[in-house]
A and B are shown apart, each in its own frame.
Chain A
Amino acid sequence: MTLQPDLTPILPLTLLVVWACALLLVDLYIPKDRKSITALLSALGLALTLGFTLAQIGQEPLASFNDMVVMDGFSVFVNALLLVSGLLGIGLSFGYIKRMNMERGEYYTLMLFSISGMMLMAQAGDLIVVFLALELLSIPLYVLAAFDRPRVESEEAGLKYFLLGAFATGFIVYGTALVFGATGTTSLNGIVTFLGSNENPGLLLTIGAALILVGLGFKIAAVPFHMWTPDVYQGSPTAVTAFMSSGAKIAGFAALLRVFATAFPSIAVDMTGVLWAISALTMILGNLIAISQSNIKRMLAYSSIAHAGYILMAFVPYGNSEVASVSVAAGLFYLVSYAITNFGTWGVVIALEKAEGKGLEIKDYAGLGRKYPALAVAMTIFMLSLIGLPPTIGLVGKFYLFRAVMAGGFTGLAIIGVLTSLISAYYYLRVVVTMYMQEGDPERSRESFLDLTTAFTAIVTVLVSLVPQYLFAWASSAVLKLF
C-alpha cells in the first residue's frame, strides 16, 4: 500500500473542477458579445467528464482518501445523469440568458461548479464529504437563482434559497455531529462497522439520522420542508429553475440513498415509518396545491415537489435488503425519467417566456396547438409523461416504482401513489386543454439549442418507453453493490 491516495475515483470530478477554474480565467479574455464560446467550452467540459465517467461502467468499486470518496456503479449512474442534466441545462440556458440580458460568462462556470458538487455528493463516503459537497453544489445555485439581478423576484429567490438552504445545511451538520457522538466516526463504512460490533447507541443516532434526513429533505423539496420551493422556482431565471429542479434533486436523493442505505440500515425500523409519511404527504400536498396554480412555473414547482414524493417511495423499503435493491433501482429509473421530462417541460416554458416574467401564465398557452404544433406536441408528451400515461417514460417509471413498492409490502403507499397521479392528471391536462382547446395567439422565441434540447428530451421520453430494458438493466446493476 502506498501513501499516495488512489486518484482514479476523483478523476472525472477533478477534470470538471479544473476545467471550470480554467474557464473562469479564459472567460476574462472572451469578449462580452461572444459569451457563446464560454457556453460551448462548458458543454465540452461536461461532455469530456461524461466520457470519463461512462468509461467507469462495470468497473469494480473503488474507494480513496480513507473511504471518504468512493466510486461505484451507483455513483457512475448518478454522475452520468448529472452530467447529462448539465448539458441539457446549458442547452436551455444558451439562448435564454442572451434574450433576458443576463449573459455573463460566470453563469456557465457556476453551473460547472454546482455540478461538481452534485457529483461529489453521489460519491461521498463520509458525512463530512456530504456536507462539503452540499455546500459546493448549493452556493453556486444561490448565486444562479439571483442571477437576474436587479429583477426583484430573482434577488428574492436567491436570498430565500440561501437562507433556507443555510438553515438546512445547519441541520445536516448538527445531525453529523450527533452521529459522530453516537458512533465515534463520520465515515459511512465506519458507522456500519461500529453498529455491527457494538450495541445500538439508540436515540442519539436516530436523532442524528433524522436531522440529516431533514437537511436533505430541504434539498429534495419534500413536504414539510418544501416551503421555499414555489417562490424560488418562480423567482429564479427559468433556465436555472430547470437545472436546479433536476440537478439538486438528483444529488439530494443520491446522498439520501448513500447515507441511509450504507450507514443506517440498522435503524430502518425507526426510519421506514418516517419516510413513508414524508413520501405520502409530499405526494398528496404537492399534487393538491398544484391544482390551484395559474402560473406555470409555480405549478411546475408543486409538480416537482410531488415527484419528490414519488421518488421517495422507492426509499421506504431501504432497510429490507431483499426488496431494497429493486426498489432503489426503480427510484433511480424514476429520477432519470423525471429529469428528462422535466428539462423538456422547462424547455417549452422557456420558449414561451417573454421579458419581465410575461408569458408564464397557463392561459398564455392558449392556441399553441394551432400555431406551433411541434411545440404543443412536445409539451403534450411531457405532460403525459408527468401524469404517467403511455407512450412515455413516465408510465414505465411509475410502473417500475409502484411494482417495487408493492413488492416491498407497501401497498397502501402505492395506492396513495396512483390516486395522487389521478389528481395530477387534472392539472397537467389543463395545460393540454389550454394549448389545444382554447383560442389564443402565443408568441415563441426560436433558439436552435433550445429547440434541440426540447426535441431531444421529447424523443427520449417516447423512445425509452418502448425499449426501457437497457436503462432498467443499468439501474439495477448500479445498485447491486450498495446492499
Chain B
Amino acid sequence: MNFFLQPLTLLTFFPLVGVLILLFIPSDRKNLLRWVTLGTTLVTFLLSLWVLGMFDASDPHLQLVAQYNWIQVAGWNIQYYLGVDGLSILLVLLTTFLTPISILSTWTAVEERVKDFMIFFLLLEVGMTGVFLAQDLFLFYIFWEFTLVPMYFLIGIWGGPRRIYAAIKFFLYTMAGSILMLLAILWLGNTGKTFSVPDLIAQGNIPVGVQMWLFLAFAAAFAIKVPMWPLHSWLPDAHVEAPTAGSVILAGVMLKLGTYGFLRFNIPLFPQAALEAAPWIALLATIGIIYGAAVSYAQADVKKLVAYSSVSHLGFVMLGMFALNSQGVAGAILQMINHGLSTGALFLLVGMIYEQTHTRELKVYGGLWKITPVFAAIMLIVSLSSMGLPGLNGFVGEFTILLGAFGSQAIGSAWYAAISALGVIMAAVYILYMFQKMFLGPQGEIVDEVKKHGHRIRDLNWREIGIMVPILILIFWIGLYPKPFFALMAPSVDNLVQALNTAALAMH
C-alpha cells in the first residue's frame, strides 16, 4: 500500500496538512486560522474513528501495522514502524478527541500570535499521536522528544507571568529523564541488533541484573513525565503558567505519555525487573496519591489545586498498572482516559472563568451558583467525576484499580491499596472544598470587582457548552456502561499479564 495511505501514517501526520495550509494564511486573519485548525483536528479525529472502526478488539497483537525499513546501513536496523493495539487505541482516541476541544477553548482566549499558536498545537498533536503509535525505539524517541518542543513554546509564549521559568523547567526536567532513556535505548539496540519493540520483547533474553538498570533508565524518563512523587515539581509550575489549552493537553494527554511508556516499554521489555520494582512503585504511587491530595487541599489557586490533583490521580494509575494483574492494568488504562477527560474538563472550566475574572485566587470567589447556574452544574458533574462518584467515569477506574491492587501478588501487600483508598476520600475533600468556595456561600468579591470594570460575570455561552457536552457524554458513558471500553483493551491486557506470569515463573 502507498506509504502515506496507511491508516496510522495518515492519522499521525495529517495535522501537518493543516500546518502547511496555515503557513499560507496571513497572520491577521485570526478566525480563518482558527477554523482551519479546528477543521484539521476534526478530520484527524474522524481518521482516528476510522482507525477504531478497522480495529479488531479481539486481537491482542499490533494491528494496522505500517512497517518499512528506514535506516538499514552500518549495523543499524531502524524501521518506520507504527502499530496500534488495545493498550494504545484509547489513548490515541483521547488525543484526537481532546485536541479539537482544546482548539475550541482558545477561540477567544488566544488573541496574540494565533498563527504560531495553532501551528505549534498541530505539531504537538503529531508528536503525541506518534508516541502512542511508534513501535520502533528510535522512532518513538524522536516523537517523544519532539513533543517537548511545541509544548515548550506554548507555555513560554502564551503562558502566565512566570511562563519562561516554567517552560524551561518543564523542558529541562523532561529532557533530563529522556537522555537516560536514550542510553538504555542504545544499549537495547546494540545488544538486540534491532530497535523494534515487538522483536526486542520476543528476544527477551536480557539478564535480570541488566534489566533493572534498563528499567530504571526508562523509568526515569516516564516517571518524570507522569509525574511520580518525588519528581513532580515541574508540574504545578507548567500547569499554572500554561495557557488553558496547553494545560488541557498537558494534563489530558502528555502525562499519559509517561504512564503509557511504562505500559508499553518498561513492563513488557523488562518483566522481571517490573515484578521486582512493583512494591517500590506502589509505595511511590501511594505516597503520590496522599501527598497530591493533601497539597491540593492547601492551594489557594484553583489551577494549582487541579494541577496537584493530577499527581494524586496519576498515582492511582501507577498503582493499578504495577499491580501487574488484568484488573489493575485495565483499570489503569481506563483511569488514564478518565483523568484526561475529568482533569481536562476542570482545566477548561477554570480557564473559562479565568477569561472573565483574570484571577484564580479561590478566596475571591463565592456564590457563583446563582450567577452562572449552567457553569456551576457542569462544574459539579466534572468535580464529582474527578472525585470518583459511582455512576461517573472516575469511580469505574479507581474501583477497578483498587480491586487489582488489593489482590496483587506483585505488590505483595494490601496495605498500599488500603491507604490509597483514603486518597479517594481526600479527593472528595479538596474537590468539594473548591466547589464550595467557588459556587456556594456568600457572593465573592470578584463579582463586584468585575462589575467595577464595566462587565459582569456571564454564564457559559453556546461555544463553551458545546466544548463541554462531548466530555460530559463520555463521563456518563464510561460511568454507566464501561464495558465497550474494557472490551477494546482486554485481549492486549491479558496478553501482557500472561507474559508477566511466564516471566514470574521463569524467575522462581
Taking CB atoms, residues of chain B closer than 8 Å to A419 are 179
Tell me the complex Cα distance, A437–B163, Å: 9
B146 close to A390 (CB less than 8 A): yes
B186 close to A406 (CB less than 8 A): yes
Q: Which chain B residues (180-217) contact chain A, with CB distance < 8 Å?
A: 180, 182-183, 186-187, 189-190
B189 close to A403 (CB less than 8 A): yes
Q: Which of A369, A425, A433 contacts B167 (CB 8 A)?
A: A433
At the interface, yes or no: B481 with Cβ under 8 Å from chain A? no
Nearest CB in chain A to that of B78: its residue? A469
Question: Contacts A414-B186, A415-B183 known; A389 to B148 CB distance under 8 Å?
Answer: yes
A426 close to B168 (CB less than 8 A): yes
Tell me the complex Cα distance, A403–B157, Å: 35
B74 close to A473 (CB less than 8 A): yes
In the assembled complex, how far is the CB of residue A119 from the closest CB belonging to chain B, in whole angstroms? Answer: 25
Taking CB atoms, residues of chain A closer than 8 Å to B70 are 469
At the interface, yes or no: B75 with Cβ under 8 Å from chain A? yes
At the interface, yes or no: B145 with Cβ under 8 Å from chain A? yes
What is the 8 Å Cβ interface bit string for chain A, positions 368-400, against chain B (1 contact, 0 not)? 011001000000000010000111000100010
Q: Describe A's contact surface by its main secondary structure.
A: helix
At the interface, yes or no: B76 with Cβ under 8 Å from chain A? yes
A425 close to B172 (CB less than 8 A): yes
At the interface, yes or no: A11 with Cβ under 8 Å from chain B? no
A389 close to B176 (CB less than 8 A): no
Interface size class on chain B is 35 or more
Q: Which of B142, B152, B157, B190 contacts A391 (CB 8 A)?
A: B142
In the assembled complex, how far is the CB of residue B423 from the closest CB belonging to chain A, in whole angstroms? Answer: 33
Tell me the complex Cα distance, A390–B156, Å: 19
In the assembled complex, how far is the CB of residue B181 from the closest CB belonging to chain A, in whole angstroms? Answer: 10
Question: Contacts A406-B183, A468-B71, A469-B70 known; A433 to B142 CB distance under 8 Å?
Answer: no
Tell me the complex Cα distance, A403–B186, Å: 5
In the assembled complex, how far is the CB of residue B187 from the closest CB belonging to chain A, in whole angstroms? Answer: 6
At the interface, yes or no: A436 with Cβ under 8 Å from chain B? yes
At the interface, yes or no: B121 with Cβ under 8 Å from chain A? no
At the interface, yes or no: A227 with Cβ under 8 Å from chain B? no
B153 close to A402 (CB less than 8 A): no
Taking CB atoms, residues of chain B closer than 8 Å to A421 are 179
Taking CB atoms, residues of chain A closer than 8 Å to B187 are 406, 411
At the interface, yes or no: B138 with Cβ under 8 Å from chain A? yes
Taking CB atoms, residues of chain B closer than 8 Å to A370 are 113
Taking CB atoms, residues of chain A closer than 8 Å to B113 are 370
Tell me the complex Cα distance, A390–B167, Å: 18
At the interface, yes or no: A407 with Cβ under 8 Å from chain B? yes
Q: List 5 A-B contacts (CB under 8 A).
A: A390-B142, A403-B186, A426-B168, A433-B167, A437-B164
Q: Which A residues contact B (CB, under 8 angstroms)?
A: 326, 329, 369-370, 373, 384, 389-391, 395, 399, 402-403, 406-407, 411, 414-415, 418-419, 421-422, 425-426, 429, 433, 436-437, 468-469, 472-473, 475-476
Known: A395-B142, A468-B71. 18 other contacts (CB 8 A): A326-B74, A373-B116, A389-B145, A389-B146, A390-B142, A390-B143, A390-B146, A391-B146, A406-B187, A418-B182, A418-B183, A421-B179, A422-B176, A422-B179, A433-B164, A436-B153, A469-B70, A469-B71
The 5 closest A-B pairs by CB, nearest first: A418-B179, A476-B74, A473-B73, A390-B142, A469-B71
